[in-house]
Amino acid sequence: MKNLRLCLIPCFALFFQLNIQAQYEIEWGPEIAVSQEGDDNNRPRVVANGDDVLVMWGKNDGNTILFSKWENGAFTPAQSMMDSGIHVFTSDWAGPEIDARNDIFVVFKAIPEDEKGAYLIKSEDWGETWSDTIRIDQPSEGNDRSRFPNVAVNFQDNPAITMMTFEGNFVDPKYVVATSEDGGQTFGPLLNVSTDYFEGEACDCCTAGITALATDVYHAYRNNDENIREIKASHSANWGQTIVDYYSVDSTDTFSNVCFSSGPDIGWDNGLVTVFKATGDFGNRIMISKLNLQNNISTHHPIDLSPPTTVSQNNPRIAIHDAFSTVVWEEYTSTNSNILFSMSMFGIEEIGSQIDTINVEQSGKQINPDIAASYDYVHVVWQDKNSGLVKYRRGTFPPYSVNEVSKHPNSIVFPNPSTALATVQAKDQSLIEFIEIHSIRGELVQRTQVRASTHTLDLSDLSEAVYMLSVHFASGEVEQHALQHLHD
């Protein structure tokens, strides 16, 4: 068995205290049909940026990808993303994936799988227009075939992609990662993030999760080591050039003689958060795992222990934004399934303590949920097997306030809340060396060299959220402010 290398990674620390005031109830809107009869509804996915929402899904007839946008209080009629000459692998267990910040990136596998490649398309205007296809797999020795591409976008709107590759005729499955530094036009070499570090092979019908920060890429997949099918993860700190850490985030001893087509999803909450299906004496349950990067210890627990073992859970998805961690999954019996939701603030500890059923119609099968979060809202979509439609429901996050406890003798930030601009001023004309802005979860989103006693920050590219602003003085002193950023 290979030994796991453990490498300590410093985490962002808050040097001041915050008073958090919140209520945890989500206010849910009505259930809305995104698609229409004849549009199909394979495995929908949703992305959101502020008030902009885009939903995509697969259509079996024609093997294509359809999408719809939320405009003027309704979803637009479904449109195709691409040229009709390309046939896309789409099903209710795997298919196209999407991620977005300012730009939207979609990846998919063309069919026939043994002849065609994996591709990326991009929109720079939130779905008004789409780029030509860009091939992202790189056929080479040991990477002769590909399937299951996925994508994550960093703060600079550069994509990192992952996919399963095979040697020869679909043997020796493994997961690889490649990154782009030019907005997805070109990609660096494929980096093995699985079998170079773990015994066994990638579970060959399970998709993988990927998330990207600035130059960090985190990846998780289901491994198969003599039918023990646990979740493994890796971390690249140099934008996919090398792997610096790799982890076992799952110790459930999940055993199966067959692949059960259920991969992990991941997010970042000042540490790697993974949601995944596991099996054992507890039945088929959704687990949530948090990897503490200060000691490389991963802890996990079932999200919901209340249902009997005759109830199964599958297909978890996670979205983390600002103060909120949100998870959706499906829970089913032999004849019925529902879409469930839970959330927590400032961590994952409360996930599972309160569970909402999202679908209003609770007869028949509702499957394949997905989730996205923007400043005010959480967006959930799913595949309604009864009607054949894509369904959507929006929840409004509870209000909360952030009040700083510590004093700032040497600096002020105004206005706060801010919109496009915020000014940082040293009270005694001390020299400010540089200013850093972190998300409330520790992600560095902006660093500005100053060398002056006053500086105005351009915040126009930041999403609406609460940020941690660190003022670094030339003297070596550092002061922190909580800054609430709003859009005009």
Are 135 and 119 contained in the same domain? yes
Say how far apart CA 345 and CA 320 lie, in whole Å: 10
- Tens of pLDDT along the chain (488 residues)? 333 333 222 333 343 444 444 446 899 999 999 999 999 999 999 999 878 999 999 999 999 999 999 999 999 999 999 877 899 999 999 999 999 999 999 999 999 988 899 999 999 999 999 999 999 998 888 888 999 999 999 988 999 999 999 998 889 999 999 999 999 999 999 999 999 999 999 999 999 999 998 899 999 999 999 999 999 999 999 999 999 999 999 999 999 998 889 999 999 887 899 999 999 877 889 999 998 777 777 888 899 867 666 789 999 999 998 778 999 999 998 789 999 999 998 778 889 989 999 999 888 899 999 999 987 899 999 999 999 999 999 999 887 655 544 446 688 888 888 888 999 988 777 899 999 998 876 778 899 999 888 999 999 888 878 888 889 998 888 888 888 888 76
Tell me the residue type at 192: N
Rounded distance, CA 452 to CA 472, Å?
11
Give me the CATH number covering residue 157: 2.120.10.10
Give the end of a domain, one of 349, 372, 400. 400
Domain count along the chain: 2
Residues 6+ apart with CB under 8 A from 143: 137, 165, 166, 167, 176, 190
10 within domain boundaries? no
Are 379 and 413 members of one domain?
no
Q: Which domain holds residue 137?
A: 18-400
Q: Does residue 457 sit within a domain? A: yes
Full-model pTM = 0.83
Q: How far, in Å, CA of 135 to CA of 440, rounded?
A: 36
Same domain, 61 and 197: yes
- Inside any domain, residue 7: no
Q: What does the alpha-carbon distance between residue 234 and residue 249 come to, in Å, rounded to a whole number? A: 10
Specify if 31 maps to a domain: yes
Cα(245)–Cα(92) distance, integer angstroms: 33
Spatial distance between the Cα atoms of 44 and 345, rounded to a whole number of angstroms: 26
Same domain, yes or no: 431 and 339: no
Between CA 450 and CA 455 the distance in angstroms is: 7
Asked if residue 419 and residue 394 are part of one domain, the reply reads no
- Among 349, 382, 400, residue at a domain's last position: 400
Residue 66 lies in a domain: yes
Do both 241 and 259 map to the same domain? yes
- Of 376, 400, 424, the one marking the end of a domain is 400
